A and B are shown apart, each in its own frame.
Chain A
Amino acid sequence: AQSVTQLGSHVSVSEGALVLLRCNYSSSVPPYLFWYVQYPNQGLQLLLKYTSAATLVKGINGFEAEFKKSETSFHLTKPSAHMSDAAEYFCAVTSELGWGKLQFGAGTQVVVTP
């Protein structure tokens, strides 16, 4: 069985400040991990993915995440927040098993203040 826990349902950051969104996973097999972003009334857009290559993964819009097996974590960061980063962010896990169906966390809503 696989699961994802996202710590913090809401995060408020100042424009220009560090964005840090936490994701911890549970998986009995080597995981593949994803971060998706969802803007209002839109579908999910992939930010980045980890599929067992480099542990530090760079994605779109300046985001990156580091896979830490010892901590079972895949936290998402961005050095400097922009107003356009206001959205909901979802961490998801899958593996080679189960057809690739994604198990999502509950999401973290990011608010960016001027």
Chain B
Amino acid sequence: GAGVSQSPRYKVAKRGQDVALRCDPISGHVSLFWYQQALGQGPEFLTYFQNEAQLDKSGLPSDRFFAERPEGSVSTLKIQRTQQEDSAVYLCASSSPGLAGKNIQYFGAGTRLSVL
């Protein structure tokens, strides 16, 4: 596809359920980021992959959050035992190889997670 694709677009989970959010980055993009955007806030960094290597997971809020990118392309963000405070939009972004800071990050439309 031409852009970053995220699925599902909307997810409703009961508290305590596990959820999995998928991100298909732009083909050939080495870098992949996950951000969490709470209602009325700016996105906050969760984790970063360079190819299949997870190089930074400093933003993951708890050990209930887990991300993977096993083949260096599609990534999955998994949240175990969801809590109400996990309700947010989860954004995925990818960027091309090169000097990381200067590269444009292309964002998907996000997955809106609502935990009841």
Chain A residues packing against B (C-beta within 8 Å): 4, 32, 36, 41-46, 49, 51, 90, 92, 94-107
Contacts and interface: CB of A to CB of B under 8 A. Distances in A.
A99 B43 contact: no
The size class of the interface chain B forms with chain A is: 20 to 34
B109 interface: yes
A103 B101 contact: no
Nearest to B47: A101
A107 B101 contact: no
Given A43-B109, A99-B56, A107-B40, 6 more contacts: A43-B4, A43-B108, A46-B104, A98-B101, A101-B59, A104-B35
Interface string B45-78: 1001010000110010000000000000000000
Given A32-B102, A43-B109, A102 B41 contact: no
Main secondary structure of the interface of A (DSSP, over half): mixed
B77 to A, nearest CB: 15
A46 B40 CA distance: 19
B107 A99 contact: no
Contacts of A102: 33, 35, 43, 45, 105
A51 B107 CA distance: 19
> Which 6 A-B residue pairs are closest in the complex by CB-CB distance?
A100-B100, A104-B42, A43-B107, A44-B107, A51-B102, A100-B101
Contacts of B50: 99
